[in-house]
Amino acid sequence: MLIKFSYLAFYLCLMPDRRSRIFVYMGMAFVGAIGVTFTIMSIFMCTPIPRGWDRTIEGTCVAEQPYLFSNAAFNMAADVVVFVMPIPTLWSLHRESLGVLLLFVRTR
């Protein structure tokens, strides 16, 4: 989550217009919401909470497989959003835009 935030903070420096910066802020909200939601879900997956790391304690847990799949799906969606977000701005650069784009893609 913090790596995605660092990319998005870098994009704020790249994006010159207000509309693009709003999209970056929306991306930050999306990434933050995913991080907070799945952190809270992982803490409260089991009742009582210590059953999450000590299965000898009596209690119940929600199914792990759907949680893990949804966590992976949302994180992949966030990765795609963070990766695709600067492409329109980089394409709008008229000097060597393809080279800049390829350099940017290589550093990810």
- Contact (CB, 8 A) for 34 and 75: yes
Amino acid letter for position 30 = F
Give the residue numbers spanning the domain of 90.
2-107
Q: Record the pTM.
A: 0.75
- Provide the pLDDT for residue 15: 83
The pLDDT confidence band at residue 90, using thresholds 50, 70 and 90, is confident
- Give per-residue pLDDT as tens, 20-75: 899 999 999 999 999 999 999 999 999 999 998 898 999 999 998 999 999 999 99
Q: What is the pLDDT of residue 87?
A: 82
* Domain total in the chain: 1
Are 5 and 28 within 8 A, CB to CB? Answer: yes
